[in-house]
Structure formats: C-alpha cells, structure tokens
Structure 1
Amino acid sequence: MKKNKYVFWGLVITTLISALDANIMQTASPTIVKQLGGMELFAWIFVVYMLASTVTVPLYGKLSDMYGRKKLLMFAVGLFTLGSILCGMANSMVTLIIFRGIQGLGAGGMIPLSMVIVGDLFTIERRGKIQAVFSSIWAISSIVGPILGSFFVEALSWRWIFFINIPIGIASVLCLLPYKEQMEFKKTHIDYKGFFLFGVSITLLLLSTNIQNSIWYIILGIIGIIVFVLVERKETHPFLPVSLFKNKGILMTNLFMLVYCLSFFGTSNFIPLFLQEGNQMSIYKSGLILLSIAVGWTFGSTPAGKWILRFGYKLLFIIGSLITTLSGLALYLFISDISYFGLFIILTIQGVSFGLLFAVGTIASQEFAEPQIKGMSTSLQMFLKNIGTSIGVTVMGLIINQAANIVIGMKYVFLYALCLSLITIVLSFLIPAKTTAFSESE
C-alpha cells in the first residue's frame, strides 16, 4: 500500500506537468514570438502539440496492453521532459515547433496511461475520488499556470516555462520506480500499417479545424478513415481490436462521450471571451468564472465510484446528461442579461455533470473492457474526448465569428450544444447498467 502511495503521487505529478503545460503557454507565447520571430507560424506552437498528443493516444493504449503501463509511462514522461529541454533551448520558431512536436509525442501517453494505472491499482469506489484530485489539479493549474508564465517571462526568461518541467519530470519517474505491475502482458503483433493510416487520417481531420480553406483536408481525412476501416477488416491483429466495437458497453459509452464533448463541454472556452467583450469585464475576473466548473466537477466526480456500485452506469449517464441539458437550456435562455453570480451558479451545476460523466465514463471504459484491452479501451475514450472537444470548439468558434456580436454568437453556440445534448440523453438510455463482472459479484 505504501508503494501505491508513491505511485499515486507520481501520477499526480504527471498530471501536474500536463496541466501546467496546457496553461502556462498562454501568457508566454507573445513574448516568445517577439524574441524568435515567425509570427506567421505562431499558431503551430499549439497545433503541432495538439496533433502529436492526440494522434498517439490510441498507440500508447495499445502498447500498454502489450508491454505494461509503467515502462511506457516513464518513457512518455522522459520524452516529454526531453522535448521541454529542447524547447527551452530553441533559437528559432521552426525549431521550437519541431521540439513542441516531440513534447506532444510524450504528452500523448501521460494522461491516458495515468488513468489506466489508476484503473489497475484502485477499486471503483476510490477511482472517483482520485479523478476528483486530478480534476482539481487541472482547475488550479488553469489559474496558477498563466500567473507562473507571467512570472517566468518578467523575472527570468520564457525558456523557464519549459525548464520547469525538468525537476517535475524527474520526480514523476522516481515516484513510479517502486511500482510493480501484477498483470501479465502478452506481446502481440503491432499493426503499424493501421496506425499509420489512422494517424494520417485523424491528423488531416484535425488540421482542417485549424486551417482556412480546409475542405480538401476533410475529404482526404474521410477517405483515409474509409481506407483504414477496409484494411483493418482484413487484418488478423487490427490496430483497433474488433472486440472494442462488439462490446455494447464500450461502444455506447464511447459514442456518448464523443457527442458529449462535441456539445457543452467546449462552451467554457468562450465564456471568458463573452464576459470580456460582452460585459467589458477584466481578464482576471472573467477567468475566475471557470472556477465554478472546477468546483462543480469535484462534487460530481468524488462520489462517482460509490454511485456506480449503488445505481449502475445507465442511470448516472441519464442523470448527468439531463443536468447538462437543463443547465444548458438555462444558459441559452438567460445568457443575454444574466448576472455574474447567476452564471457562476449555472456553470457550477453544469460542472457537477461534467465531473460525474467524465469519471463514470472513464471507469466504464475500464470495467466494460477485458483485462488485455483495458489500456486500449481507456485511451480510445480519451482520444475520442479530445477529438470531440477539438471539433466542437472549432464549430463554436465559427458560429461566434459569423454572428453580429458576441452575445448573439453565444446564444447560437448554446443552441448548437443544446441540440447535441438531446442526442446524449437518447444515447444514455442505450448504455448497459452494469458490467458482467459487476453483475456476477452481486
């Protein structure tokens, strides 16, 4: 049990690195552009990281089922730390973008593998509480990250936003060293052809969300996915195991989480912008509104494990999607003249449903899966969440840009999310209440 504590802290530190990196860049990026130049390449600092960290998630899941989680997570943290060192030493925008890609290749395994290890080590009941801790880290980092970024830029150098990852990465690896995995991992054939087709297709589709005149990227990406499916049908050991899609629990849970992330989950990205432009609110105060979601998330995810054992999965998915839809309806109806306090309350309620459904979704992806594909199942859901959020945020951005003003734009965004959230309610009724093992244990 003592070793598990060290492992737990290693996973916490790993999550901390990821969370800080996601938030610390926001305030430092303008200074980086001033010093390195290459303003026309500015967006690629973020795009290349997003592409590398998203596309590699399923591969890490597949490899973790074959070679174990510990070695792979240590490799991912090591690669991320190496990328951080190189980013800190970059002397041009081009080299920084390349090194951010290396960082992203490591980041792709850090969060999903941490979640898989949590699933291996801890009971369903404890997993909800642990995910609440991880969620709190993201919430705190969303506030501390930009402040820390400002400090490094003003007091030291922007390069320290990357160098700070070195001691954190080393601490993470040291905490993971005592971990001894109990499972036996079976080495099988790796379908690199399938991964290549899958990776290229998803990269093209993700690029289409960040590039103007992107129709050809969408067409080529869809063609790539079709070719991938046709090739995988003939593959003896496909990159995405067929058992993942024959399992109703995994299939419906993943489909639910994909649509869910396409809907209201991405709206929080635009709330601060709405408050700044629509209400002339300060950057600091508009950013603090997101604490509401973090607070609600903690209340929703902490008891999720207990509630799964008591009520099963289906009921929790139904309740979570209903809370999201009703709170989303309130946002749509009242966003034009809502008070700061009123907005805080509604977002807190919505945060409860976010926390509940993300915790239940992650646990379901592990418990519905057979032990030999648990890593793949967990990482696939995380991958679909990332895809859903990326596409959802892009669509919302287009809606806002086409609107006459930010207030009207937000109403249309909430209407779009509301329509999709109705689909999640339907999908929630199709999710099994319990896993087979869960039912047999009663």
Structure 2
Amino acid sequence: MGKNKFVFWGLVITTLISALDANIMQTASPTIVKQLGGMELFAWIFVVYMLASTVTVPLYGKLSDMYGRKRLLIISVGIFTLGSILCGMANSMVMLVIYRGVQGLGAGGMVPLSMIIVGDLFTIEKRGRIQAVFSSIWALSSIVGPVLGSFFVEALTWRWIFFINIPIGIATVLCLLPYKEQIEFKKTHIDFKGFFLFGASITLLLLATNMSNSIWYVIIGFIGLIVFALVERKETHPFLPVALFKNKGILMTNLFMLVYCLSFFGTSNFIPLFLQEGAHMSIYKSGLILLSIAVGWMFGSTPAGNWILRFGYKPLFITGSLITAISGLALFIFIKDLSYTNLFIILTIQGFSFGLLFAVGTIASQEFADSSIKGVSTSLQMFLRNIGTSIGVTVMGLILNHAANIVIGMQNVFLYALCLSLVTVMLSFLIPAKTGALSESPS
C-alpha cells in the first residue's frame, strides 16, 4: 500500500464520519427536539439528510469522471463539515433541518467517492479486503455511535455531536492532499436539466416513503422519471450515459443489487425491535445481535477479490443469492422458536452473503465500466442500493404495522423478503462471468 497509505487513511476517516453521524443522531435526536422544540419536524432531521445524500450520489459520480475524485471528495467533506458547524450552531428546529440538508449534500459524495478512489488505486484482490475494513467501521460505529451520542448529550451538549466532525473533516482533507491522480479526466457538458428532472423525481419517490397521501408522490415521481427518460434520449451528453444501460454487465449487476437491497438487507432494522417486543430482551442485548451480520460481512467481503479472479462474477452472485435465500427461508420458518444463539448463527451466515455480494457488486460496477464512466457507474450502483434499502424498509414497516402482533409481523416481513430473494437468485444467472479484462487493474 506504501505510497497510498495516507489516501487509504483519508478514506477510512471519511467512512468513519459518515457511519458515526448516522448512529450518533439516532441517540441524540430526542434530546435535541426537547431543547429546540418543534416535535412536528422530528422526522425531517433524518428525511432531509437522506434525500440530499441519496439524490446527489449520481451527480458526484458524474462530476468525478470529469474533474477527478480527489477534488470532489475534498469538496464533499468540506460541505459536510460546514453543514456540521451550522447544525451545531442551530437554535431552532427549522434551522437544524435546513443545515442537515447541507450536511446531506456533502455526505452524498463521501462514501461513493471513497469507493471510486479504491477502485482507481487498488487491485481487485486488495479491494475485497479494503471493503471489509470499511464494513467493520460501519459495524463498530453501530456500537460506538450510540455510546458517543449518550456521552455528548449527558457530559457536554448535543452540539458536540456535530462539532466533533470539524477535526475529523480537517484530518481527512490533510490525508487526501498528497494524493496524485494518475487518470486523465475528460471534461464534458453537464446535463443539469437531466439531473434536475432525475433528482426531483427520485425526491418525490423517496418522500412517498415518509408522507401520508403517498400515492400522489409516487404517481408524480414516476411521471417525472418517464419525462427524464424521454428528454435524455435527445441529449448529446445525458446525465446518465447510455453506455451504462447498453452494457449487460452493468445493467444486470445494478438490477440485481437493487432487488437484493429491497429484500433481506433491510430486515436487520427490525430484528432488535422484534427481540425487544417479542422476546422482552434488553435494548443492549437486542442491539448486539447485529454484530452477527458484521462478523459474517467481514468473512464474506475479505476474500471477494481473490474469488472474483478465481471463479468470475456469475458463480459468486449465484452462491451469495442462494445463501441469502436459504438462510432467509430458515428465518421465515423458525423465527418463532429460534434461540438467541441460533438466530445469531443464521444472521452471521446471511451477513456473509451480504459482505460477499456488496463487495463483488461494487467491483463489478467498476470493472464492467470503461474508465471514462467508472465514477458514474460505481455511484449509480450505490444510489440504487440506497433506493432499494429505503423502499424495502418502508414496505417492511407497513407489513409489520398491519400485523396482529410482532411475531406474525416478522414472519410476514421474512416472507416478503424471501419472495424477492428468489428473484435475485434468477437474476444472478443473467450476470456475465467475466469483464474480459480482469487482470488489467491498478496496482
């Protein structure tokens, strides 16, 4: 790693602040609302951030193909840090919601651009191991985040959950400064009209997951996407390059990951709730169950790069989706009678398939793409994962809310996820085995 170690640590710190922000906010937000008032805006602390950070992902990818990853990542970290300072200074809920939007605009580039730089700098073998490191950061943050959030709220003030991002943001930029990009970046026309249509349509569809009378948001959102597709057909330099959709590898991998995130990936959000409500378990013990997914994830993603070189993409997608479906079937059938230990084991197995498929999916989105569209290809897949997870979790929440009790609700959630996981098994057979240039990767 030698010459790239500072860059690597910069990317690690970037991932750390993204992960910590998500987990600290969940703990501290009730206290923030009590102090600032405006309970009716509580959900918008999260909704605005989610919208801003999701919709901007493809734009960052597109711009990184034109102006370079380093410049864009420094800008996104800068925007996130500025948003953090403003959030820490907010003295009303309206201001906090607006500033969370600013934070989200920066966050939209941080993780995707980090992954794109990893794709530029490291061989396929190393990328699996690096993604395992990033995954373990997210896992660690899910445990450390709530503890830190509690500490800031009780020992200092909730404002420090935002101010802590200032030194971390500065450290990230300092680590990135020595990085010299070796790739030639081609400046082309930016289709802002396409981005606006795309962004507005996706925003409406995401709002539908959080609003009453959501059917109108869905209808207008889909109409917007149709208009976007019609307008883009006539655009010389479309916001989403046509090559992305003509390339079978990119198209099938993205479709697979979208459906995969709609299925079992979102169930982990509800398992602690199920253990608390259904098994009357403590918050700590029920939250600890998610360590199983993190452990499995590391074992799945670490060897992924080597397995791609040895077996190709298709067998790994087939294997990962089958493991997910079989472990999901066990959850559906036995959830009522599973002991804590057995549930931990099944979730570890499922976490293994998550880690394998997310690593292979990210590498595939980079290797199937030409170098000129590698950034937008990587960011598009991350964008589709976010969309799939958001919609999947919303559907699962509705299923759970309409069930007679939490146990029946979880069984219904697993049945929904199982049906979609069978679709991913079928899709996995349509993914090409090789990119045709597996050995031509950066060193």
1:98 equivalenced with 2:98 (yes/no) = yes
Alignment match, 1:237: 237
Alignment match, 1:189: 189
Q: Aligned equivalents of 1:315 and 1:267: distance in 2? A: 25
Alignment match, 1:223: 223
Residue 430 of structure 2 aligns to a residue in which SS?
coil
CA RMSD of superposed structures (Å): 0.9
Q: Aligned equivalents of 2:132 and 2:2: distance in 1? A: 21
Partner amino acid, structure 2, of 1:150: S
Q: Aligned equivalents of 2:216 and 2:239: distance in 1? A: 26
1:375 equivalenced with 2:375 (yes/no) = yes
Q: Aligned equivalents of 2:402 and 2:329: distance in 1? A: 22
Cα offsets for 1:378-407 (capped at 9, x unmatched): 000000000000000000000000000010
TM-score normalised over the length of structure 2: 0.99
Q: Aligned equivalents of 1:293 and 1:325: distance in 2? A: 15
Query: Structure 1 regions of 5+ residues with no counterpart?
Result: none
Residue 436 of structure 1 aligns to a residue in which SS?
coil
Matches within 5 A, 1:163-178: 163-178=163-178
Alignment match, 1:325: 325
| C-alpha deviation, 1:439, in angstroms | 7.7
Alignment match, 1:334: 334
| C-alpha deviation, 1:337, in angstroms | 1.5
Matches within 5 A, 1:338-417: 338-417=338-417
| C-alpha deviation, 1:2, in angstroms | 3.2
Task: Please say if residues 139 and 294 of structure 1, whose CA atoms lie closer than 8 Å, have aligned partners that are also in contact.
Answer: yes
Alignment match, 1:16: 16
Alignment match, 2:427: 427
Task: Please say if residues 301 and 359 of structure 1, whose CA atoms lie closer than 8 Å, have aligned partners that are also in contact.
Answer: yes
Task: Please say if residues 3 and 178 of structure 1, whose CA atoms lie closer than 8 Å, have aligned partners that are also in contact.
Answer: no
Alignment match, 1:26: 26
Alignment match, 1:81: 81
| C-alpha deviation, 1:232, in angstroms | 0.3
Q: Aligned equivalents of 2:294 and 2:342: distance in 1? A: 16
Residue 437 of structure 1 aligns to a residue in which SS?
coil
Residue 275 of structure 1 aligns to a residue in which SS?
helix
Alignment match, 1:6: 6
Q: Aligned equivalents of 2:55 and 2:335: distance in 1? A: 36
Partner amino acid, structure 2, of 1:6: F
Q: Aligned equivalents of 1:391 and 1:332: distance in 2? A: 20
Q: Aligned equivalents of 2:396 and 2:440: distance in 1? A: 44
Task: Please say if residues 28 and 149 of structure 1, whose CA atoms lie closer than 8 Å, have aligned partners that are also in contact.
Answer: yes
Q: Aligned equivalents of 1:60 and 1:440: distance in 2? A: 25
Matches within 5 A, 1:296-311: 296-311=296-311
Q: Aligned equivalents of 1:280 and 1:411: distance in 2? A: 18
Cα offsets for 1:55-83 (capped at 9, x unmatched): 00000000000000000000000000000
Residue 186 of structure 2 aligns to a residue in which SS?
coil
Q: Aligned equivalents of 1:418 and 1:376: distance in 2? A: 31
Query: Structure 2 regions of 5+ residues with no counterpart?
Result: none
Partner amino acid, structure 1, of 2:157: S
Residue 157 of structure 1 aligns to a residue in which SS?
coil
Alignment match, 1:48: 48
Cα offsets for 1:183-222 (capped at 9, x unmatched): 0100000000000000000000000000111111000000
Q: Aligned equivalents of 1:342 and 1:92: distance in 2? A: 46
Task: Please say if residues 204 and 220 of structure 1, whose CA atoms lie closer than 8 Å, have aligned partners that are also in contact.
Answer: yes
Residue 437 of structure 2 aligns to a residue in which SS?
helix
Residue 210 of structure 2 aligns to a residue in which SS?
coil
| C-alpha deviation, 1:440, in angstroms | 8.6
Q: Aligned equivalents of 1:28 and 1:18: distance in 2? A: 16
Q: Aligned equivalents of 1:437 and 1:283: distance in 2? A: 48
- Distance change (3 Å), C-alpha of 1:65 and 1:440: closer
Task: Please say if residues 323 and 350 of structure 1, whose CA atoms lie closer than 8 Å, have aligned partners that are also in contact.
Answer: yes
Q: Aligned equivalents of 1:22 and 1:2: distance in 2? A: 31
Cα offsets for 1:140-186 (capped at 9, x unmatched): 00000000000000000000000010000000000000100000100
430-439 or 396-405, larger mean C-alpha shift? 430-439
Q: Aligned equivalents of 1:56 and 1:241: distance in 2? A: 16
Q: Aligned equivalents of 1:439 and 1:61: distance in 2? A: 24
Alignment match, 1:206: 206
Alignment match, 2:313: 313
| C-alpha deviation, 1:438, in angstroms | 2.4
Task: Please say if residues 263 and 392 of structure 1, whose CA atoms lie closer than 8 Å, have aligned partners that are also in contact.
Answer: yes
What is the total number of aligned residue pairs between the two structures? Answer: 441
Q: Aligned equivalents of 1:243 and 1:2: distance in 2? A: 35
Cα offsets for 1:277-325 (capped at 9, x unmatched): 0000000000000000000000000000000000000000000000000
Cα offsets for 1:331-380 (capped at 9, x unmatched): 00000121000100000000000000000000000000000000000000
Cα offsets for 1:98-126 (capped at 9, x unmatched): 00000000000000000000000000000
- Distance change (3 Å), C-alpha of 1:439 and 1:79: closer
Q: Aligned equivalents of 2:343 and 2:437: distance in 1? A: 42
Cα offsets for 1:264-286 (capped at 9, x unmatched): 00000000000000000000000
Cα offsets for 1:418-437 (capped at 9, x unmatched): 00000000000000000021
Alignment match, 1:36: 36
Residue 185 of structure 2 aligns to a residue in which SS?
coil
Alignment match, 1:161: 161
- Distance change (3 Å), C-alpha of 1:439 and 1:402: same
Alignment match, 1:128: 128
Residue 347 of structure 1 aligns to a residue in which SS?
helix
Alignment match, 1:148: 148
Q: Aligned equivalents of 1:215 and 1:261: distance in 2? A: 22
Matches within 5 A, 1:272-311: 272-311=272-311
